[in-house]
Amino acid sequence: MKIETIDSTPYNDQKPGTSGLRKKVKVFQQRHYLENFVQSVFDCLDDCNGKTLVLGGDGRYFNRQAIQIIIKIAAANGFSCLIIGQSGLLSTPAASHIIRKNQAYGGLILSASHNPGGADEDFGIKYNISNGGPAPENYTDAVFKHSQTITQYKLADIPDVDLETIADVQLENLQIRIIDPVSDYAELMASIFDFELLKNSLSSGKISLVFDAMHAITGPYAKRILEDILGAKAGSVINGTPLEDFGGGHPDPNLVYAKELAELMFSDHAPTFGAASDGDGDRNMIVGANFFVTPSDSLAILAANATLIPAYKNGLSGVARSMPTSQAVDRVASALNLPCFETPTGWKFFGNLLDADKITLCGEESFGTGSNHVREKDGLWAVLFWLNLIAKKEQSVAEIVQEHWQKFGRDIYSRHDYDAVDSTIANGIFDHLRALLPTLEGQSFGEYTVSYADEFSYTDSIDGSVSSQQGMRIGFANGSRMVFRLSGTGTVGATLRIYIERFEPDASKHGQDAQQALAQLIELAEQFCQVKQLTGRVAPTVIT
């Protein structure tokens, strides 16, 4: 195999964020841009020789071209086996599983997840390590550093690979395996959940469902598992064909962007269960008939009921949530006497805890939940978990949630996002907050007395690594909390996220609308950060 060494010039903006490197497609299409980053990833690994690499993406614009380029760079860097999803497709959780199942050295996942796709939209790339999970920060920091000085990359002189045909192809020392992207993952799901029970409930129509794949990667997965294997009515999966531009939408599973599903679920002909997934299939939205489940509650409910699921019947070793996620799961952990960890935002922080079996379940407020079955959050897994619970408990989504609140109290929760804020203004807001926090402790604002105000820093209990500046948090004496963070996945300006929660033990008040119940805290958050005043906006871009 002829290997060429190509001279290149470095870029200074290849810093991976919360989940990989995300930029506009046009940025990725610059000369040597993708090549530099991929070579930097490989240069920062110990030795790629003779190793296996998994490759796939969410099917967005530039996915196929990028895969052909990466194949040539991987071949030139000595990988001996490339496992690639047919048509270049792999959902993020499926990629994680395939890395683990094949004991691959790692994988490159091509996705910008919930960011829109298309020639003028976003592309992304992320390296996952041999446990199947996102590379830790010390590695991504090293890649960034290397990318700023890289001067050349290697390219194998081989023809483009046929990604459409499932086959094993041998190119001299390199084996290329084009695999069915769904079958291994479907098998894994069958090993976790009670598929017989699910078949009975779904094929009989006892549970009716609509799954909105939002024209992203989960379409083929949901169709195969929910319709073909479990017998849900044909057409239960909507927007099920992956499109390069996701049909022009945001593949972000919330009530704003999954509009078609939201309208159906809040109508008088709503099915028993509704769900949606994001661009790369790692996140989920759960909706019952006329009832929305907050992701933080979803995590707590899965933890509280886990022993009803075959794979978790012996109980959980522990649970974890990201810092801005509500404290609902903490209440479950304390009732079940389980360890409970609080990590920074982003799945990479759960990896060590899962590997060390300190936790079995974990999740984030941003519609991500997962378990030790892979090292990524997993949208369809959460959907199957809920379906399994509904079938087993013979209750509706609303009944399950309300019963949970009665037992544990309700953590009323909301996140307000301000997208595309001018970066100077956003930085100003955080400088101001940083100065304000130390002055707040002990101060009272109406019924809210500040008991702590700090900037979250995390020390990994397994490897001792420290991640600082992970968001500002203000806690109140009555258990309420607010958190301010800047997003690490946006590609335009800065996205400011404000997370607000209040605990309500009184069951007679559990029916409240979250925005109303949180109104005072929302006002207080504005008083602290002044985002509306400084940006001239009247409302958040998205409220979840």
Query: In this chain, which stretch among 46-54, 69-77, 166-174, 339-347 interacts with ligand VG1, using CB under 6 A?
Result: 339-347
Cα–Cα distance for residue pair 256/269, rounded to 1 Å: 20
Q: Locate 461 and state its tokens.
A: 């209990």
Residue 122 Cβ vs ligand VG1, minimum distance, rounded to whole Å: 10
Enumerate residues 6+ apart whose C-beta is below 8 A from 196.
none
Of residues 89-118, those binding ligand VG1 (CB under 6 A) = 113-114
| DSSP per-residue codes, 134-188 | BPPHHHHHHHHHHHTT--EEEEE--PPP--SS-EEEEETTEEEEEE-TTHHHHHH
Closest CA to 133 of 363, 352, 364: 352
In the complex with ligand VG1, the residue whose CB is nearer, 125 or 450, is 125
The CA dihedral of 448, 475, 498, 110, to the nearest 10 degrees, is -160
Binder among 147, 236, 326, 345 for ligand VG1 (CB under 6 A): 345
**Residue 424 burial by CB count (10 A; 0-12/13-18/19+): exposed, middle or buried?**
exposed
In the complex with ligand VG1, the residue whose CB is nearer, 227 or 364, is 364
Decide: 296 and 410 in contact? Cβ < 8 Å.
Answer: no
Three-class SS of residue 327? Answer: coil
Q: Residue 366: name its binding partner from Co ion, ligand VG1, none (Cβ under 5 to 8 Å by kind).
A: ligand VG1
- Which secondary-structure segment (H or E) carries 420? strand 410-421
Residue nearest to Co ion as judged by C-beta position: 113
- What is the helix, strand, coil percentage profile of the chain, to 5? 35, 25, 40
Cα–Cα distance for residue pair 111/258, rounded to 1 Å: 19
Q: Lay out the site mask for ligand VG1 across 308-337 (x = CB under 6 A, - = otherwise).
A: --------------x---------------
Catalytically active residues, by annotation: 113
Q: Which residue is it, tokens 């609080």?
A: 342
Binder among 35, 58, 121, 280 for Co ion (CB under 5 A): 280
Query: In this chain, which stretch among 171-179, 271-279, 352-360, 517-525 interacts with Co ion, using CB under 5 A?
Result: 271-279
Q: Residue 128: name its binding partner from Co ion, ligand VG1, none (Cβ under 5 to 8 Å by kind).
A: none
Q: Total residues at the site for Co ion (CB under 5 A)?
A: 5
In the complex with ligand VG1, the residue whose CB is nearer, 94 or 161, is 94
Of residues 114-173, those binding ligand VG1 (CB under 6 A) = 114
Of residues 3-42, those binding ligand VG1 (CB under 6 A) = 18-19
| DSSP per-residue codes, 375-411 | SS--HHHHHHHHHHHHHHHT--HHHHHHHHHHHH-EE
Q: Residue 254: name its binding partner from Co ion, ligand VG1, none (Cβ under 5 to 8 Å by kind).
A: none
Q: Residue 352: name its binding partner from ligand VG1, Co ion, none (Cβ under 5 to 8 Å by kind).
A: none
Binder among 487, 514, 528, 531 for ligand VG1 (CB under 6 A): 487
Of residues 361-400, those binding ligand VG1 (CB under 6 A) = 364, 366, 368
Binder among 282, 330, 411, 460 for ligand VG1 (CB under 6 A): 282
Contact between 489 and ligand VG1 by CB under 6 A: the answer reads yes
Residue 226 Cβ vs ligand VG1, minimum distance, rounded to whole Å: 20
Three-class SS of residue 50? Answer: coil
In the complex with ligand VG1, the residue whose CB is nearer, 58 or 227, is 58
Residue nearest to ligand VG1 as judged by C-beta position: 113
Q: Total residues at the site for ligand VG1 (CB under 6 A)?
A: 18
Residue 104's region, left for phi above 0, alpha for psi from -120 to 50, else beta, is: beta
Q: Lay out the site mask for Co ion across 282-321 (x = CB under 5 A, - = otherwise).
A: xx--------------------------------------
Binder among 341, 347, 405, 456 for ligand VG1 (CB under 6 A): 347
Q: Which residue is it, tokens 């109140």?
A: 476
Residue 429 phi, psi dihedral angles, 5° rounding: -60, -40
Enumerate residues 6+ apart whose C-beta is below 8 A from 168.
175, 176, 177, 178
In the complex with ligand VG1, the residue whose CB is nearer, 194 or 278, is 278
Q: Lay out the site mask for Co ion across 110-129 (x = CB under 5 A, - = otherwise).
A: ---x----------------
- Which secondary-structure segment (H or E) carries 237? strand 237-238
Q: Residue 378: name its binding partner from ligand VG1, Co ion, none (Cβ under 5 to 8 Å by kind).
A: none
The CA dihedral of 398, 404, 407, 410, to the nearest 10 degrees, is -90
Decide: 440 and 412 in contact? Cβ < 8 Å.
Answer: no
In the complex with ligand VG1, the residue whose CB is nearer, 42 or 367, is 367
Of residues 193-232, those binding ligand VG1 (CB under 6 A) = none
Residue 459's region, left for phi above 0, alpha for psi from -120 to 50, else beta, is: beta
Give the full edge-to-edge strand order of the sheet including 319-322.
340-343, 319-322, 361-364, 368-371
In the complex with ligand VG1, the residue whose CB is nearer, 224 or 283, is 283
In the complex with Co ion, the residue whose CB is nearer, 55 or 178, is 55
Decide: 149 and 50 in contact? Cβ < 8 Å.
Answer: no
Contact between 91 and Co ion by CB under 5 A: the answer reads no
Residue 483 Cβ vs Co ion, minimum distance, rounded to whole Å: 21
Q: Locate 498 and state its tokens.
A: 């404000």
Cα–Cα distance for residue pair 257/284, rounded to 1 Å: 13
In the complex with Co ion, the residue whose CB is nearer, 284 or 467, is 284
Residue 58 Cβ vs Co ion, minimum distance, rounded to whole Å: 8
Amino acid letter, 388: N
- Contact positions toward Co ion, by CB under 5 A? 113, 278, 280, 282-283
- Contact positions toward ligand VG1, by CB under 6 A? 18-19, 113-114, 278, 282-283, 322, 345-347, 364, 366, 368, 487-489, 497
